[in-house]
Amino acid sequence: MSFSWKKKNVLITGMSGFFAPHIAEKLINLGAEIVGTIHDQKMSYAKLSGIDQKISICQADINDIDRLKEIITNYEVDYIFHCAANSIVKLCANNPIGSFKTNIMGTANLLEAARSSCTVKGIMCMESDKSYGSFDADDLPYKEDQCIKPSNVYEVSKACSGLIAKAYSSNYSLPVFTIRAANLYGPGDANTSRLIPGSIMRLLYGESPVLFKGVANYIREFLYVGDAAYAVIKLMEKIDITKSQVINLGSAEIHKVEHVVNILCSQIDSKIKPIVKEKQDLFKEIEEQYVDFSKLKGLVKDYSPTDLETGLKFTIDWYEKFSGKLARPS
Protein backbone atom coordinates (compact mmCIF):
# COMPACT_ATOMS: atom_id res chain seq x y z
CA MET A 1 0.00 0.00 0.00
CA SER A 2 1.46 3.37 -1.04
CA PHE A 3 2.04 6.09 1.52
CA SER A 4 -0.41 9.01 1.60
CA TRP A 5 0.18 12.41 3.18
CA LYS A 6 -3.50 13.34 3.09
CA LYS A 7 -4.67 14.63 6.48
CA LYS A 8 -1.30 13.79 8.08
CA ASN A 9 -0.32 16.38 10.69
CA VAL A 10 3.23 17.59 10.07
CA LEU A 11 5.36 19.88 12.22
CA ILE A 12 8.15 21.75 10.42
CA THR A 13 10.53 23.83 12.52
CA GLY A 14 12.38 26.83 11.12
CA MET A 15 9.65 28.16 8.82
CA SER A 16 11.24 31.60 8.75
CA GLY A 17 14.32 30.02 7.19
CA PHE A 18 15.16 28.75 3.70
CA PHE A 19 14.66 24.98 3.54
CA ALA A 20 11.57 24.42 5.71
CA PRO A 21 9.10 26.33 3.50
CA HIS A 22 10.08 24.22 0.49
CA ILE A 23 9.21 21.05 2.40
CA ALA A 24 5.92 22.65 3.44
CA GLU A 25 5.12 23.69 -0.13
CA LYS A 26 5.46 20.13 -1.42
CA LEU A 27 3.55 18.60 1.51
CA ILE A 28 0.66 21.06 1.06
CA ASN A 29 0.32 19.81 -2.51
CA LEU A 30 0.26 16.24 -1.17
CA GLY A 31 -2.64 17.03 1.17
CA ALA A 32 -0.81 17.23 4.51
CA GLU A 33 -1.84 19.57 7.32
CA ILE A 34 1.18 21.69 8.24
CA VAL A 35 2.10 23.52 11.42
CA GLY A 36 5.30 25.53 11.22
CA THR A 37 7.33 27.16 13.97
CA ILE A 38 8.93 30.56 13.60
CA HIS A 39 11.21 32.43 15.98
CA ASP A 40 11.10 35.84 14.29
CA GLN A 41 9.12 37.76 11.70
CA LYS A 42 11.90 38.24 9.14
CA MET A 43 11.12 38.17 5.44
CA SER A 44 11.22 34.61 4.14
CA TYR A 45 10.19 32.35 1.29
CA ALA A 46 7.16 31.29 3.35
CA LYS A 47 5.91 34.89 3.50
CA LEU A 48 6.80 35.91 -0.05
CA SER A 49 5.26 32.79 -1.62
CA GLY A 50 2.13 32.86 0.52
CA ILE A 51 2.88 29.50 2.13
CA ASP A 52 2.36 31.03 5.57
CA GLN A 53 -1.29 31.63 4.61
CA LYS A 54 -1.83 27.92 3.89
CA ILE A 55 -0.46 26.50 7.14
CA SER A 56 -0.73 27.01 10.88
CA ILE A 57 2.09 29.23 12.18
CA CYS A 58 3.24 29.00 15.80
CA GLN A 59 5.65 31.38 17.46
CA ALA A 60 8.10 29.15 19.32
CA ASP A 61 11.63 29.13 20.65
CA ILE A 62 13.29 25.80 19.89
CA ASN A 63 14.73 25.93 23.41
CA ASP A 64 11.27 26.13 25.03
CA ILE A 65 10.53 22.45 25.51
CA ASP A 66 7.14 23.06 27.12
CA ARG A 67 6.04 25.09 24.10
CA LEU A 68 7.23 22.32 21.76
CA LYS A 69 5.30 19.71 23.76
CA GLU A 70 2.23 21.93 23.63
CA ILE A 71 2.39 22.26 19.84
CA ILE A 72 2.98 18.54 19.27
CA THR A 73 0.06 17.65 21.57
CA ASN A 74 -2.40 20.29 20.35
CA TYR A 75 -1.86 19.50 16.68
CA GLU A 76 -1.58 15.72 17.22
CA VAL A 77 1.61 15.76 15.15
CA ASP A 78 2.38 12.64 13.09
CA TYR A 79 5.68 13.64 11.49
CA ILE A 80 8.37 16.23 12.21
CA PHE A 81 10.89 17.89 9.89
CA HIS A 82 13.40 19.70 12.10
CA CYS A 83 15.08 22.49 10.13
CA ALA A 84 15.45 25.24 12.76
CA ALA A 85 19.11 26.14 13.26
CA ASN A 86 21.76 28.81 13.25
CA SER A 87 23.08 27.91 9.82
CA ILE A 88 25.54 30.64 8.78
CA VAL A 89 29.06 29.39 9.48
CA LYS A 90 30.60 32.81 10.17
CA LEU A 91 27.69 33.94 12.39
CA CYS A 92 28.04 30.75 14.44
CA ALA A 93 31.72 31.56 14.96
CA ASN A 94 30.72 35.01 16.23
CA ASN A 95 28.13 33.60 18.63
CA PRO A 96 29.25 30.14 19.82
CA ILE A 97 27.09 29.93 22.94
CA GLY A 98 23.91 30.94 21.12
CA SER A 99 24.70 28.56 18.26
CA PHE A 100 25.38 25.62 20.57
CA LYS A 101 22.17 26.39 22.44
CA THR A 102 20.07 26.46 19.28
CA ASN A 103 21.71 23.74 17.21
CA ILE A 104 22.49 21.26 19.99
CA MET A 105 20.07 21.85 22.84
CA GLY A 106 17.32 22.89 20.43
CA THR A 107 17.55 19.48 18.78
CA ALA A 108 17.56 17.74 22.17
CA ASN A 109 14.50 19.73 23.25
CA LEU A 110 12.58 18.83 20.11
CA LEU A 111 13.42 15.13 20.36
CA GLU A 112 12.53 15.03 24.05
CA ALA A 113 9.21 16.71 23.28
CA ALA A 114 8.59 14.14 20.54
CA ARG A 115 9.51 11.30 22.91
CA SER A 116 6.74 12.38 25.28
CA SER A 117 4.18 12.19 22.46
CA CYS A 118 2.07 9.18 21.59
CA THR A 119 1.36 10.37 18.02
CA VAL A 120 4.78 11.06 16.43
CA LYS A 121 5.68 8.38 13.87
CA GLY A 122 8.77 9.85 12.23
CA ILE A 123 11.32 12.67 12.60
CA MET A 124 13.90 14.14 10.25
CA CYS A 125 16.79 16.11 11.73
CA MET A 126 18.73 18.40 9.42
CA GLU A 127 22.43 17.98 10.11
CA SER A 128 24.98 19.14 7.49
CA ASP A 129 27.74 17.93 5.22
CA LYS A 130 29.90 20.31 7.27
CA SER A 131 29.69 17.76 10.11
CA TYR A 132 32.35 15.70 8.31
CA GLY A 133 34.80 18.54 8.91
CA SER A 134 37.71 16.93 7.10
CA PHE A 135 40.45 18.90 5.35
CA ASP A 136 41.89 15.69 3.91
CA ALA A 137 41.12 15.15 0.20
CA ASP A 138 41.51 11.39 0.76
CA ASP A 139 38.24 11.50 2.74
CA LEU A 140 36.26 12.61 -0.33
CA PRO A 141 33.55 12.02 -1.24
CA TYR A 142 32.16 12.03 2.29
CA LYS A 143 30.43 8.75 3.17
CA GLU A 144 27.91 8.35 5.97
CA ASP A 145 29.93 5.69 7.81
CA GLN A 146 33.26 7.53 7.90
CA CYS A 147 34.69 9.18 10.98
CA ILE A 148 33.59 12.80 11.37
CA LYS A 149 36.17 15.48 12.20
CA PRO A 150 34.31 18.72 12.95
CA SER A 151 36.39 21.64 14.19
CA ASN A 152 34.66 25.03 13.86
CA VAL A 153 31.59 26.06 15.88
CA TYR A 154 29.06 25.35 13.15
CA GLU A 155 30.54 21.96 12.25
CA VAL A 156 30.66 20.85 15.89
CA SER A 157 27.15 22.08 16.65
CA LYS A 158 25.63 20.21 13.70
CA ALA A 159 27.65 17.06 14.36
CA CYS A 160 26.44 17.10 17.97
CA SER A 161 22.84 17.49 16.83
CA GLY A 162 23.28 14.34 14.73
CA LEU A 163 24.77 12.45 17.65
CA ILE A 164 21.85 13.51 19.84
CA ALA A 165 19.44 12.13 17.24
CA LYS A 166 21.42 8.89 17.24
CA ALA A 167 21.18 8.70 21.04
CA TYR A 168 17.40 9.16 20.99
CA SER A 169 17.10 6.51 18.33
CA SER A 170 19.36 4.03 20.14
CA ASN A 171 18.17 4.64 23.69
CA TYR A 172 14.47 5.34 23.21
CA SER A 173 13.71 3.78 19.79
CA LEU A 174 12.59 7.19 18.55
CA PRO A 175 12.00 6.93 14.77
CA VAL A 176 14.46 9.61 13.67
CA PHE A 177 16.90 9.94 10.77
CA THR A 178 19.44 12.67 10.04
CA ILE A 179 20.32 14.40 6.79
CA ARG A 180 23.72 15.69 5.71
CA ALA A 181 23.04 17.84 2.66
CA ALA A 182 25.36 19.52 0.21
CA ASN A 183 25.13 23.31 -0.27
CA LEU A 184 21.46 24.14 -0.83
CA TYR A 185 20.48 26.90 -3.23
CA GLY A 186 17.31 27.99 -4.96
CA PRO A 187 14.33 30.34 -4.73
CA GLY A 188 13.68 31.97 -1.39
CA ASP A 189 17.03 32.24 0.34
CA ALA A 190 16.70 35.73 1.83
CA ASN A 191 20.19 35.69 3.32
CA THR A 192 22.19 37.74 0.86
CA SER A 193 25.42 37.08 2.76
CA ARG A 194 25.43 33.67 1.08
CA LEU A 195 27.21 33.21 -2.23
CA ILE A 196 24.36 32.62 -4.67
CA PRO A 197 21.65 34.99 -3.35
CA GLY A 198 24.22 37.72 -2.71
CA SER A 199 25.70 37.39 -6.20
CA ILE A 200 22.28 37.37 -7.88
CA MET A 201 21.12 40.44 -5.98
CA ARG A 202 24.26 42.40 -6.85
CA LEU A 203 23.90 41.49 -10.51
CA LEU A 204 20.24 42.51 -10.55
CA TYR A 205 21.31 45.91 -9.18
CA GLY A 206 23.94 46.18 -11.91
CA GLU A 207 26.83 45.58 -9.53
CA SER A 208 29.70 43.10 -9.69
CA PRO A 209 29.46 40.03 -7.47
CA VAL A 210 32.30 39.74 -4.97
CA LEU A 211 34.77 36.87 -4.78
CA PHE A 212 37.46 36.62 -2.14
CA LYS A 213 41.00 35.49 -2.88
CA GLY A 214 41.36 31.80 -2.17
CA VAL A 215 37.64 31.28 -1.64
CA ALA A 216 37.04 31.61 -5.40
CA ASN A 217 38.80 28.27 -5.86
CA TYR A 218 36.90 26.46 -3.12
CA ILE A 219 35.04 23.43 -4.46
CA ARG A 220 31.49 22.78 -3.31
CA GLU A 221 28.59 20.53 -4.26
CA PHE A 222 25.43 22.50 -5.08
CA LEU A 223 21.99 20.97 -4.50
CA TYR A 224 18.76 22.56 -5.70
CA VAL A 225 16.47 23.09 -2.72
CA GLY A 226 13.42 21.57 -4.42
CA ASP A 227 15.32 18.32 -4.97
CA ALA A 228 16.35 18.23 -1.31
CA ALA A 229 12.74 18.78 -0.19
CA TYR A 230 11.53 16.00 -2.45
CA ALA A 231 14.21 13.66 -1.13
CA VAL A 232 13.49 14.18 2.59
CA ILE A 233 9.75 13.69 2.05
CA LYS A 234 10.39 10.42 0.23
CA LEU A 235 12.79 9.32 2.98
CA MET A 236 10.15 10.07 5.61
CA GLU A 237 7.66 7.92 3.71
CA LYS A 238 10.11 5.05 4.32
CA ILE A 239 10.64 5.80 8.02
CA ASP A 240 10.51 2.09 8.88
CA ILE A 241 13.70 1.72 6.83
CA THR A 242 15.33 5.13 7.30
CA LYS A 243 14.94 5.46 11.07
CA SER A 244 18.29 5.59 12.90
CA GLN A 245 20.14 6.26 9.64
CA VAL A 246 22.38 9.11 8.52
CA ILE A 247 21.75 9.94 4.85
CA ASN A 248 23.71 12.25 2.54
CA LEU A 249 21.89 14.46 0.05
CA GLY A 250 23.95 15.31 -3.00
CA SER A 251 23.70 16.25 -6.65
CA ALA A 252 27.07 15.48 -8.31
CA GLU A 253 27.09 19.18 -9.31
CA ILE A 254 30.59 19.82 -7.95
CA HIS A 255 32.12 23.14 -8.94
CA LYS A 256 34.53 25.88 -7.99
CA VAL A 257 32.82 28.86 -6.35
CA GLU A 258 34.18 31.08 -9.14
CA HIS A 259 32.51 28.90 -11.79
CA VAL A 260 29.10 29.28 -10.15
CA VAL A 261 29.43 33.07 -10.04
CA ASN A 262 30.52 33.15 -13.69
CA ILE A 263 27.38 31.21 -14.66
CA LEU A 264 25.26 33.76 -12.80
CA CYS A 265 27.00 36.60 -14.65
CA SER A 266 26.40 34.92 -18.01
CA GLN A 267 22.69 34.34 -17.22
CA ILE A 268 21.94 37.83 -15.85
CA ASP A 269 24.35 40.29 -17.49
CA SER A 270 27.38 38.98 -19.33
CA LYS A 271 28.93 42.48 -19.39
CA ILE A 272 29.38 42.38 -15.60
CA LYS A 273 32.33 40.42 -14.22
CA PRO A 274 33.04 39.45 -10.61
CA ILE A 275 35.56 41.45 -8.64
CA VAL A 276 38.14 39.79 -6.40
CA LYS A 277 38.88 41.17 -2.93
CA GLU A 278 41.18 40.24 -0.09
CA LYS A 279 39.49 38.11 2.55
CA GLN A 280 38.80 40.36 5.55
CA ASP A 281 38.77 37.70 8.26
CA LEU A 282 41.06 34.82 9.14
CA PHE A 283 38.19 32.35 9.43
CA LYS A 284 39.22 29.15 7.67
CA GLU A 285 36.82 26.87 5.84
CA ILE A 286 37.39 23.54 4.18
CA GLU A 287 38.48 24.08 0.59
CA GLU A 288 36.83 21.04 -1.01
CA GLN A 289 33.60 19.30 0.00
CA TYR A 290 31.22 16.88 -1.69
CA VAL A 291 29.31 13.77 -0.67
CA ASP A 292 28.63 10.23 -1.76
CA PHE A 293 24.85 9.98 -2.04
CA SER A 294 24.55 6.41 -3.28
CA LYS A 295 22.54 5.46 -0.17
CA LEU A 296 19.94 8.10 -1.08
CA LYS A 297 19.73 6.83 -4.66
CA GLY A 298 19.16 3.32 -3.32
CA LEU A 299 16.31 4.50 -1.10
CA VAL A 300 14.68 6.97 -3.52
CA LYS A 301 14.87 5.31 -6.91
CA ASP A 302 13.47 8.25 -8.88
CA TYR A 303 15.77 10.84 -7.32
CA SER A 304 17.09 12.93 -10.20
CA PRO A 305 18.80 16.17 -9.12
CA THR A 306 18.46 19.33 -11.19
CA ASP A 307 21.54 20.37 -13.16
CA LEU A 308 23.23 23.54 -11.91
CA GLU A 309 22.51 25.83 -14.86
CA THR A 310 18.79 24.97 -14.83
CA GLY A 311 18.59 25.35 -11.06
CA LEU A 312 20.30 28.73 -11.21
CA LYS A 313 17.86 29.87 -13.91
CA PHE A 314 14.89 28.94 -11.68
CA THR A 315 16.59 30.77 -8.83
CA ILE A 316 17.26 33.93 -10.83
CA ASP A 317 13.64 34.01 -12.04
CA TRP A 318 12.46 34.08 -8.42
CA TYR A 319 14.86 36.84 -7.37
CA GLU A 320 13.85 38.95 -10.37
CA LYS A 321 10.29 38.78 -9.07
CA PHE A 322 10.99 39.45 -5.38
CA SER A 323 14.32 41.33 -5.24
CA GLY A 324 12.59 44.57 -4.23
CA LYS A 325 11.35 42.96 -1.02
CA LEU A 326 14.73 41.59 0.07
CA ALA A 327 17.63 43.30 1.80
CA ARG A 328 20.18 44.70 -0.61
CA PRO A 329 23.57 43.01 -0.11
CA SER A 330 26.13 45.11 1.72
pLDDT in tens, 46-56: 888 899 999 99
For the chain, the structural domain boundaries read 9-184+222-249
Average pLDDT over residues 179-186: 98
pLDDT at 83: 97
Q: Which fold has domain 9-184+222-249?
A: Rossmann fold (3.40.50)
pLDDT at 136: 81
Confidence of residue 326 (pLDDT cuts 50, 70, 90): confident
Peptide bond into 274 cis (omega under 30): no
pLDDT at 283: 67
pLDDT tens, residue by residue, 269-321: 999 999 998 877 656 778 899 999 999 999 999 999 999 999 999 999 999 99
Amino acid identity at 152 = N
The model carries a pTM of 0.95
pLDDT tens, residue by residue, 77-135: 999 999 999 988 888 999 999 999 999 999 999 999 999 999 999 999 999 999 999 77
pLDDT at 126: 97
Whether 326 and 315 have beta carbons less than 8 Å apart is answered as no
- DSSP E strands in the chain: the ranges are 9-13, 33-38, 56-59, 79-82, 122-126, 176-181, 183-185, 210-212, 219-224, 246-249, 254-256, 275-277
